[in-house]
């Protein structure tokens, strides 16, 4: 239950506080009754807070509700002796408190009634405002209206109109809104022009949500709203970034033929779409205007020209200027300034002279914005001479233009990183006395050095500023503190906070926000929370940026629960979160794989009058794609359009990446084509998955996509080059080498992926020497050769039948602590056995089994000595110099035990193996797995006898 005068606690020290309570008929079902009917059945009464304990039980039986806060805010603190009940006449109009100065009150009411009856409304409005401000005779708008209505009930509507107009003022507009709702609840209506003045006032003070609600209520009550009312409703929607609803209201205007549509409504919507850079929709509305025989105004053309310039579409901007001429619509200074800004942004400085000439021909002199734009354009092009020449021209325009041009010149030089030139220009200007030293100029240079990461020079500028007798400002200190926070030097940032206090400069909320962001980046969250408390202790109020910086850092660190708790604390402190705060949380939960939790925040946003943005939907789409839920992601992409928003390049990139991830390359290519047909320029991130995926299916599609990419003036990066080199290394190795050379020319460092592709390509064509050079180059560049590169080398050498070379790479690989995969290891062992390199085979198995008990069983069969490995001993008899020990061992993955007996033959000069070898094998065993020998086979064994042994070792 809310206190009615919560905003004026300081004035209620000696008065009892009253609360407005709505008594509702218990027979009415609030859940099903239409809002308009429900409002009509309510009655309102004031009760002092002291009586609430006794009143609450019976009220609970009668469905007690609290009246909406807008009306609560209009009621003032009342004295007990001022309370009086509803009118005995039962007219349903709320009756305000009585006043002991009844004679004076009656006299003022008489004057007001006469003024209104004589249509002297301006004088009546002034008198009402004076009476309300004095708080001696009337306490509220309702009080004035009650007295006027009682004096002449027949003029109730006229009285309502005057009182509404009197309070259509930024100071009392919310009180006026509450008063209007009371009137409508009791079926008292007034002139729509008075409603429009209130809507206009709400827009002026930025109460767009209240303006929209008031318009909706007016329509619900059947108020005869006009074209102006609709225009203001559209304006409220655009200001709240709800363009979809703005268009809906425009369509309602179309359906009400008596009202029709207005140029103002179209202009507001076109401006909204231009600010969102949705130029195709803005142009569609313009064409629709023309089709409806509405004449676009200067504002319409300027809005579109500025929009096209900001998105870089200068051809359409100049086409709109030509159409402006053909329709005889006079340009303004804004028209030419927008075109000049677009040209400067595009660095098309050679076309600016013609625009300037046309501007002067229409008698528009270049203003401060024009000169700032020109100086910025020359700075973008690095044309210092042109900047200085233009600056000298401005010097003769007067002191104000001189100072502004000086600041613009220095700012342009600083933004382009030409700090030495900026410092030199400042010294020259100050030395010649052309401009007086001031804090703004020094702050500009200091900020420039900070942007250039030259802190020492920035400190020098600070000292020069101090020695010139200029007091460092809050901006000076904030710039230095921000720089140290960006560097992660929080001790130095704290030191500058202390210096700030020593100079008598009080930190602002922005200062504290910078510190919160700095500590947050360092993950020193306890200090962040301490700074939040410090802000409150200094009688400052944290803003949405204070909480946003900390929430963002918490989300990036994966501390999502703490970020959510901070959001609730923020809202409890009456700080309204914005769409960016919710986007941070949604992105955080999506990145952590908790997509369902992210959707809960999406559902919560409308309850706080926050409209999801494209960024919101993109984060959720990316999260769904990461989970492989592509159908849901596409549904969400459709919702973007349904909400009046536009898909952007990030939307399509997420979907393309998602479909490539599940192997559906054809769908990814379909989305790519849809994206282009929608006029959305692809980005590098569009081509990363496409080129990599298409390379697996052949080079035709890869070549087509790469050509289109260059057609969009998108320069390839390392990832693109690597994908291309990998693709061509498989098919056209010469082109792969060409891309490698191009990569070097563009000063893009080759990485491990580049070398791996080139190594594989060279091995495929048998260029072993070039492979060795590549490996040496990798080592020279400080790139660590890891398991994937070694595996490529060993596999490539095996395919070239150079098993000795492959074995050498295996030894280097094992020495560096890397393991070869089982499949490549088996291929290497088989090759070595074919070449008779049995000791190398044993060494490979020994090192693999010592390194991994998991991999060893996987190569047992490859280590077996089959017939072809035994043929080397099939010649003649040799004397036995070593004892032969045959160990029949069981592989670890056989389930049945395998009995074996170690049989040693020793002490004799000749051995007949079949006679001395005794082997017992369990009937459950499938085969003898492998033989291990101690010593060397230095004997002559007949073929027949070896056959008997081999039957045991590799037989069934």
For 570-621, what is the HEC assignment?
HHHCCCCCCHHHHHHHHHHHHHCCCHHHHHHHHHHHHHHCCCCCHHHHHHHH
Mean pLDDT of 6-20: 35
Secondary element (H or E) of residue 22: strand 18-23
The pLDDT assigned to 910 comes to 35
Summarised one tens digit per residue, pLDDT across range 100-125 is: 467 777 777 788 778 777 777 778 77
Highest-confidence segment of 144-153, 580-589, 904-913: 580-589
Task: Give the residue, 852 or 658, on which the prediction is more confident.
Answer: 658
pLDDT tens string 452-480: 899 999 999 899 888 888 889 999 999 99
Is the pLDDT at 530 greater than 70? The verdict is yes
Residues contacting residue 305 through CB under 8 Å, at least 6 positions apart: 317, 320, 321, 324, 335, 338, 339
In the structure, what pLDDT confidence band is assigned to residue 896 with cuts at 50, 70 and 90? Answer: very low
CA distance 555 to 103: 65
pLDDT at 443 over 80: yes
pLDDT digits (tens, 9 = 90+) for 735-750: 888 999 999 898 998 9
Query: Could you give the count of Cα atoms lying within 13 Å of 65 in the half-sphere of its Cβ?
Result: 17
Residue 280 has pLDDT above 60, yes or no: yes
H or E element that contains 838: helix 838-851
Residue 847 has pLDDT above 90, yes or no: no
From 352, 325, 357, select the one nearest 338 (Cα to Cα): 352
Q: For strands 18-23 and 930-932, give the pairing.
A: unpaired
- Across residues 654-677, what is the average pLDDT? 93
**Using CA atoms, how far apart are residues 821 and 855, in angstroms rounded to an integer?**
8
User: Which DSSP symbol is given to 137?
Assistant: S
Instruction: Yes or no: say if 217 and 184 are a contact pair by the CB < 8 Å rule.
Output: yes
Q: Who contacts 88 (Cβ-Cβ below 8 Å, separation ≥6)? A: none
Is residue 387 exposed (0-12), middle (13-18) or buried (19+ Cβ within 10 Å)? buried
Beta carbons of 542 and 569 less than 8 angstroms apart: no
Kindly state the percentage of the chain with pLDDT values over 70.
Answer: 73
Mean pLDDT along residues 76-90: 35
Helices of type H across 678-821? 684-694, 699-711, 718-731, 733-745, 752-764, 768-780, 787-799, 803-815
Rounded to an integer, the average pLDDT of 6-21 is 35
pLDDT for res 176: 66
- pLDDT-derived band at 536 (thresholds 50, 70, 90) equals confident
Burial class from Cβ neighbours inside 10 Å (0-12, 13-18, 19+) for residue 388 reads: middle
Whether the per-residue pLDDT at 431 is higher than 80: the answer is no
Query: Could you read off the pLDDT of 37-78 as tens digits, one per residue?
Result: 333 333 333 333 333 333 333 333 233 333 333 333 333 333
In contact, 316 and 308? CB cutoff 8 Å:
yes
**Looking at the predicted structure, is the pLDDT value of residue 382 above 90?**
no
Give the pLDDT band of residue 645 (cuts 50, 70, 90). Answer: confident
Number of Cβ within 10 Å of residue 413's Cβ equals: 28
Q: Which of 50-54, 195-199, 285-289, 299-303 has the weakest average pLDDT? A: 50-54
pLDDT at 897 exceeding the cut of 60: no
Question: Quick one: pLDDT band at residue 329, thresholds 50, 70, 90?
Answer: very high
Pairwise pLDDT comparison (540 vs 435), residue with the higher score:
540
What pLDDT shows up at residue 41?
35
Q: For 526-551, what is the mean pLDDT?
A: 91
User: What pLDDT does 109 receive?
Assistant: 79
Rounded CA-CA distance 823/595 in Å is 39
Backbone angles phi, psi at 759, to 5 degrees: -60, -45
pLDDT, averaged across the chain: 75
pTM for this entry: 0.61
* Residue 48 dihedral angles phi and psi, to the nearest 5°: -70, 150
Distance CA 510, CA 516 (A): 10
Of 144 and 681, the one with more pLDDT: 681
Residue 817 CA to residue 812 CA, distance in Å, equals: 9
What pLDDT is recorded for position 755? 92
């Amino acid at each position: 239950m809310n206190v009615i005068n919560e905003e004026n606690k300081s004035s209620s020290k000696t008065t009892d506080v009253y609360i407005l309570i709505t008594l509702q008929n218990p027979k009415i079902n609030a859940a099903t009754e239409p809002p308009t009917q429900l409002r009509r059945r309510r009655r309102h009464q004031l009760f002092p807070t002291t009586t609430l304990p006794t009143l609450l039980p019976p009220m609970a039986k009668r469905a007690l509700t609290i009246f909406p806060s807008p009306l609560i805010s209009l009621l003032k603190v009342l004295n007990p002796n001022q309370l009086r009940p509803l009118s005995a006449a039962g007219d349903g109009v709320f009756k305000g408190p009585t006043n002991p100065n009844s004679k004076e009150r009656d006299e003022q009411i008489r004057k007001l009634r006469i003024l209104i009856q004589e249509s002297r409304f301006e004088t009546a409005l002034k008198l009402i405002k004076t009476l309300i401000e004095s708080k001696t005779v009337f306490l509220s708008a309702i009080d004035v209206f009650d007295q006027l209505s009682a004096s002449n009930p027949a003029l109730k509507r006229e009285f309502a109109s005057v009182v509404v107009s009197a309070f259509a003022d930024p100071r009392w507009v919310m009180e006026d809104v509450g008063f209007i709702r009371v009137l409508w609840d009791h079926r008292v209506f007034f002139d729509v022009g008075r409603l429009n003045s209130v809507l206009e006032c709400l827009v002026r003070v930025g109460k767009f949500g209240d303006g929209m609600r008031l318009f909706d209520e007016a329509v619900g009550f059947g108020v005869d709203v006009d074209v102006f009312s609709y225009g203001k409703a559209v304006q409220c929607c655009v200001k709240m970034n709800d363009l979809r609803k703005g268009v809906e209201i425009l369509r309602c205007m179309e359906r009400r033929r008596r009202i029709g549509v207005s140029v103002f409504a179209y202009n507001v919507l076109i401006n909204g779409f231009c600010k969102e850079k949705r130029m195709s929709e803005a142009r569609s509305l313009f064409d629709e205007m023309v089709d409806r025989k509405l004449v676009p105004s200067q504002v319409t053309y300027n809005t579109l020209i500025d929009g096209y310039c900001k998105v870089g579409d200068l051809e359409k901007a100049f086409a709109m200027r030509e159409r402006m001429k053909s329709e005889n619509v006079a340009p303004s200074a804004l028209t030419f300034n927008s075109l000049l800004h677009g040209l400067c942004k595009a660095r098309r400085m050679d076309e600016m002279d013609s625009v300037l000439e046309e501007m002067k021909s229409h008698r528009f002199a270049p203003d401060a914005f024009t000169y700032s734009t020109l100086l910025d354009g020359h700075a973008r092009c690095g044309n210092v001479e042109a900047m200085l020449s233009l600056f000298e021209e401005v010097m003769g325009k007067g002191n104000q233009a001189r100072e502004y041009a000086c600041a613009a010149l220095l700012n342009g030089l600083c933004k382009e990183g030409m700090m030495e030139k900026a410092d030199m220009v400042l010294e020259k200007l100050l030395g010649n006395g052309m401009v007086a030293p001031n804090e703004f100029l020094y702050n500009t240079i200091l900020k420039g050095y900070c942007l250039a990461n030259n802190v020492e020079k920035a400190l020098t500028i600070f000292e020069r500023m101090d020695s010139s007798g200029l007091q460092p400002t809050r901006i000076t200190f904030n710039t230095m503190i921000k720089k140290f926070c960006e560097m992660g030097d929080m001790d130095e940032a704290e030191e500058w906070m202390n210096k700030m206090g020593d100079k008598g400069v009080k930190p602002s909320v922005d200062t504290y926000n910078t510190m919160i962001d700095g500590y947050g980046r360092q993950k020193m969250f306890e200090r962040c929370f301490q700074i939040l408390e410090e802000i409150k202790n200094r009688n400052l109020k944290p803003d949405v940026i204070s909480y946003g910086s900390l929430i963002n850092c918490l989300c990036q660190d994966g501390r999502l629960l703490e970020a959510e708790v901070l959001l609730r604390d923020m809202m409890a402190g009456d700080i309204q979160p914005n769409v960016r705060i919710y986007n941070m949380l949604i992105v955080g939960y999506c990145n952590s794989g908790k997509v369902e939790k992210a959707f809960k925040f999406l559902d919560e946003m409308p309850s706080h009058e926050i409209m999801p943005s494209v960024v919101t939907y993109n984060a959720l789409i990316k999260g769904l794609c990461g989970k492989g839920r592509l159908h849901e992601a596409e549904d969400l992409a459709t919702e973007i359009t349904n909400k009046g928003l536009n898909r952007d390049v990030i939307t399509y990139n997420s979907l393309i990446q998602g479909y490539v991830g599940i192997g559906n390359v054809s769908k990814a290519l379909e989305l790519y084509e849809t994206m282009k047909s929608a006029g959305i320029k692809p980005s590098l991130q569009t081509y990363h998955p496409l080129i990599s995926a298409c390379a697996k299916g052949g080079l035709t599609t890869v070549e087509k996509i790469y050509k289109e990419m260059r057609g969009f003036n998108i320069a390839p990066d390392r990832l693109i080059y690597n994908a291309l080199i990998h693709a061509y290394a498989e098919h056209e190795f010469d082109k792969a080498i060409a891309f490698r050379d191009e990569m070097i020319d563009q000063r893009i460092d080759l990485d491990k992926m580049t070398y791996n592709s080139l190594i594989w390509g060279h091995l495929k064509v048998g260029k072993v020497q070039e492979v060795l050079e590549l490996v040496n180059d990798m080592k020279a560049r400080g790139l660590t050769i890891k398991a994937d590169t070694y595996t490529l080398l060993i596999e490539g050498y095996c395919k070239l039948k150079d098993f000795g070379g492959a074995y050498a790479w295996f030894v280097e690989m094992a020495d560096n602590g890397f393991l070869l995969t089982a499949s490549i290891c088996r291929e290497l062992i088989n090759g070595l056995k074919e070449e008779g390199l049995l000791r190398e085979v044993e060494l490979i198995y020994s090192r693999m089994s010592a390194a991994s008990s998991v991999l060893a069983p996987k190569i047992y069969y490859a280590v077996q000595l089959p017939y072809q490995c035994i043929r080397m001993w099939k010649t003649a008899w040799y004397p036995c110099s070593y004892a032969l020990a045959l160990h029949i061992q069981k592989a670890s993955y056989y389930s049945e035990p395998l009995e074996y007996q170690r049989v040693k033959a020793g002490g004799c000069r000749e051995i007949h193996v079949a006679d001395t070898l005794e082997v017992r094998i369990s009937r459950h065993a499938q085969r003898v797995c492998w033989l291990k020998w101690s010593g060397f086979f230095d004997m002559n064994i007949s073929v027949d006898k070896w056959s008997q042994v081999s039957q045991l070792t590799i037989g069934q």
